Amino acid sequence: MVRRNKILDSEDRYDMTPMIDVVFLLLIYFMFLPLQQEADISIRLPSQTPPSEEISLPNKHIVEIFPNGMVLLNGAMMDDRFSRHLPSLIETLTRLRLSSDRIGDDTILEIQADPDSTHQRSVDVLNAAARAGITKVSFARTF
**Please, are residues 93 and 109 in contact by the beta-carbon 8 Å criterion?**
yes
Q: Domain for residue 103, yes or no?
A: yes
Q: Domain for residue 53, yes or no?
A: no
pTM for the whole thing? 0.58
Q: Is the pLDDT of residue 1 over 60?
A: no
Rounded distance, CA 129 to CA 108, Å? 10
Q: Domain for residue 17, yes or no?
A: no
Q: Domain for residue 34, yes or no?
A: no
What are the C-alpha distances in Å from 19 to residues 13, 33, 130? 14, 21, 78
Q: What is the pLDDT of residue 130?
A: 92
Q: Domain for residue 118, yes or no?
A: yes
Domain of 125, in residue numbers: 60-139
Report the CATH number that the domain containing residue 99 is assigned in CATH: 3.30.420.270
Q: What is the pLDDT of residue 39?
A: 54
Q: Domain for residue 82, yes or no?
A: yes
Q: Domain for residue 3, yes or no?
A: no
Kindly report, residue by residue over 3-62, the tens digit of the pLDDT.
666 655 556 677 888 899 999 999 888 887 766 555 556 666 666 566 666 666 667 888
Number of domains in the chain: 1
Given pLDDT bands bounded at 50, 70 and 90, which one contains residue 127?
Answer: very high
Kindly report, residue by residue over 55-112, the tens digit of the pLDDT.
666 678 889 999 998 999 888 888 888 888 888 999 999 998 898 888 888 888 999 9
Rounded distance, CA 72 to CA 63, Å? 6
